[in-house]
Amino acid sequence: MKNAEVAQLLYDIADMLEMQGVQFKPGAYRKAARSVETLSSDVAEVFGKGGKEGREKLMALPGVGESIAEKIEEFLTTGKLRYYDGLKKKFPKHIIELMNVPGIGPKRIKLLHDKLGIKTVAQLEAAAEAHRIAKLPGFGEKSEEDILKGIGTFRKGQERMLLGYALPIAAEIEQRLRKLKETEHVSIAGSTRRMKETIGDVDILASCKGSSAAAKIMRFFTTMPDVTRILAKGETKSSIVLKTGLQVDLRVVDDNSFGAALQYFTGSKEHNVVVRELAIKRGLKLNEYGVFRKSSNRRIAGKSEEEVYEAIGIRYMEPEIRENSGEVEAAARNKLPKLVQYGSVKGDFHCHTVKSDGSNRLEDMVTAAKQLGYEYVAITDHSKSERIAHGLPDEEMEQWLKQIKAAAAKEKKIKILAGSEVDILPSGELDYPDDLLRKMDVVVGSVHSRFKSTKEEMTERILAALDNRYLDILAHPTGRMIGKREPYEVDLKRIFAAAAEKKVLLEINAYPDRTDLKDVHAREAKGFGCKFVINTDSHNTENLKFMDLGVAIARRAWLSPEDVVNTRPLKGLPKFFRKIKV
């Protein structure tokens, strides 16, 4: 998939234009980049055979106008973009890399270059450590600390890719291999199969019968059109690097060992150690080839994961919970939880339209929700304090609520809920008065400012918001943006206790660079008695397809359907939302 490549190209153009002081265009390029980045299908497939029809399909993407569509077309057909190359020539070499360091932005990059000659991340780090940056106007010691933290975040982001962007690439390769006549079984493995929020590389396992079949599978894998480098090629294992920079490793095993190999290569290492120790206690030996009697070395299982676990005497454990966090002990006692299932969510409570910072109209979002089979969808555009997201003033929001409800009255196939993502102000108050909040079906509260507040300040701020009787959902509760912004400091235990007491639902935000709450926090919150909703925070129709990423977090957190409110049908919502009528 070329989505990540094209999106990064558009983001870089936006940053370079902003550094030049160009107005409006940077925002347009970022909007188009987000649209391409979050496509569930390959942008190259959208473009198809090209020409006028291909350009029109690109222009149908949210935020992609004719000019940007032409640039995407040029890149897809030639592998280069003259406009981008021309912009790069106006900047010192390597300065593009600095744009990916969180917290400094294009204007500050220009200032740092003009005043200190900084061109690279290494130079930026050295200047911050030498306290040369604090002396510049608009900076200070705290700025230097933040820059060093941002460099750390940037480097972590360079090492790993977001699951939401890696998973479609992995799934596409899995499908290609599955279509080969030589393959018997194929599966994604490793941390990708366990649905970790970020992954270092992709592991894929395939089985076949015979060495000649394995050789053909390896030949196909290493000669795929999106391969830029072959790191290793062997009879049973090969490693490649794709144009996206993602490393993919393929292992081919005999079909009779597929289950044992899948269990082994799915991991985690910690989980496998505990399982192997349990096997040893029972007089067995477990490896990637199967389960064997230690006394006779006779293989007794290996074709499927289910029979591997059964042979050891424990229940099958879903890949998402294989982290040595009590799952083996629970399986041995037959106490594994019933996990929330993919495809079980019946609606989304957090969606934006063109009325604030979304790319699609109300009608488009509703149609897309219906296509997913949802029973309900909430339209929750931003409140007035979120100016960068075109938040709505009180009067405008009141009129927008009326329009949403008018559309809801005409719609027969899905329940449209009228709400807002309302800023939690530094005081802890919500961004709209109570007389407006009470007119909303759903109130989603979020922190969007002063992320560097002290832990006590942020905790008291959110606790005050939880006291508002109209607040239904606390959205993305730690405020993190993976690779871009660290979570703000907050006492989550106090937040969880208050949310459970006030019956405010906690959001698991499925947007790939948020995935907030993360799994360990969601599991901890469940212990406090909290209930959850899984939302996509959609800003276009394609984003609605991120829901499974949120379900994965819930599964990793050991959440059951009873824990997740939007696994319930429409008629079950009034128990959790005072203002929803069905």
pLDDT class for 92, splitting at 50, 70, 90? low
Residues 243 and 358 in one domain: no
Q: How many CA atoms lie within 13 A of 412 on its CB side?
A: 0
Residue 3 predicted with pLDDT over 90? no
How many domains in the chain?
3
Q: Are 381 and 421 in contact (CB under 8 A)?
A: yes
Q: How many CA atoms lie within 13 A of 94 on its CB side?
A: 9
Domain that holds residue 289: 162-332
Q: Give CA angle at 342 (338, 345), nearest 5°.
A: 95
For residue 517, is the peptide bond before it cis, meaning its omega torsion is within 30 degrees of 0? yes
Query: Pick the residue with more confidence: 260 or 33?
Result: 260
pLDDT of residue 94: 64
Residue 90: alpha-carbon gap to chain centroid: 34
pLDDT of residue 97: 74
Q: Are 441 and 417 in contact (CB under 8 A)?
A: yes
Classify the phi-psi angles of 307: left when phi > 0, otherwise alpha if psi is within -120 to 50, otherwise beta: alpha
Residues 309 and 186 in one domain: yes
Phi and psi (nearest 5°) for 22?
Answer: -70, 135
pLDDT digits (tens, 9 = 90+) for 418-453: 999 999 999 999 999 999 999 999 999 999 999 989
SS3 category, 298: coil
Residues 384 and 471 in one domain: yes
Indicate the burial class of 227 (C-beta count within 10 angstroms; 0-12, 13-18, 19 or more). middle
Residues 74 and 106 in one domain: yes
pLDDT of residue 159: 67
Tell me if 580 is assigned to some domain. Answer: no
Indicate the burial class of 97 (C-beta count within 10 angstroms; 0-12, 13-18, 19 or more). middle
pLDDT digits (tens, 9 = 90+) for 340-397: 999 999 999 999 999 998 888 999 999 999 999 999 999 999 999 988 788 999 999 9
pLDDT of residue 576: 96
Tell me if 139 is assigned to some domain. Answer: yes
Q: What is the mean predicted confidence (pLDDT) over 541-553?
A: 95
pLDDT of residue 410: 96
Percent of the chain whose pLDDT exceeds 70: 98
What are the respective helix, strand and coil percentages of the chain, to the nearest 5? 45, 15, 35
Tell me if 341 is assigned to some domain. Answer: no
pLDDT digits (tens, 9 = 90+) for 501-524: 999 999 999 999 899 999 999 999
Residues 244 and 305 in one domain: yes
Q: Which residues of 350-366 are buried (b: 16+ CB within 10 A; e: fewer)?
A: bbbbbbbbbbbebebbb
Tell me if 337 is assigned to some domain. Answer: no
Tell me if 582 is assigned to some domain. Answer: no
Q: Which helix (H) or strand (E) holds 435?
A: helix 434-437
Residues 152 and 176 in one domain: no
Query: Pick the residue with more confidence: 208 or 23?
Result: 208
Q: Pull the structure tokens for residue 127.
A: 């200047």
Residue 300 predicted with pLDDT over 90? yes
pLDDT of residue 48: 83
Q: What is the mean predicted confidence (pLDDT) over 302-309?
A: 96
Count other Cβ atoms within 10 Å, centred on residue 5. 20
pLDDT digits (tens, 9 = 90+) for 189-244: 999 999 999 999 999 999 999 889 999 999 999 999 989 999 999 999 999 999 88
SS3 category, 237: strand
**Alpha-carbon torsion 264, 267, 269, 273, what sign?**
negative
Cβ neighbours of residue 326 under 8 Å, at least 6 residues apart? none
Q: Give CA angle at 27 (25, 30), nearest 5°.
A: 110
Residue that is last in its domain, among 332, 360, 384? 332
pLDDT of residue 177: 97
CATH number at residue 524: 3.20.20.140
Cα distance between residue 124 and residue 100, in whole Å: 12
Residue that is last in its domain, among 100, 133, 159? 159
CATH number at residue 9: 1.10.150.110
Residues 323 and 378 in one domain: no
pLDDT of residue 390: 86
Tell me if 86 is assigned to some domain. Answer: yes
Residue that is last in its domain, among 125, 159, 193? 159
Cα distance between residue 382 and residue 389, in whole Å: 7
Q: Which of 230, 209, 212, 211 is nearest to 221 (CA)?
A: 230
Q: Pull the structure tokens for residue 250.
A: 């393929």
Residues 504 and 415 in one domain: yes
CATH number at residue 303: 3.30.460.10
Residues 119 and 15 in one domain: yes
Residues 166 and 154 in one domain: no
Residues 202 and 259 in one domain: yes
pLDDT of residue 158: 64
pLDDT class for 93, splitting at 50, 70, 90? low
Tell me if 417 is assigned to some domain. Answer: yes
Residues 453 and 323 in one domain: no
For 22-36, 408-422, 557-571, which range has the lowest pLDDT when averaged over its residues? 22-36
Mean pLDDT (the chain) is: 92
Tell me if 339 is assigned to some domain. Answer: no
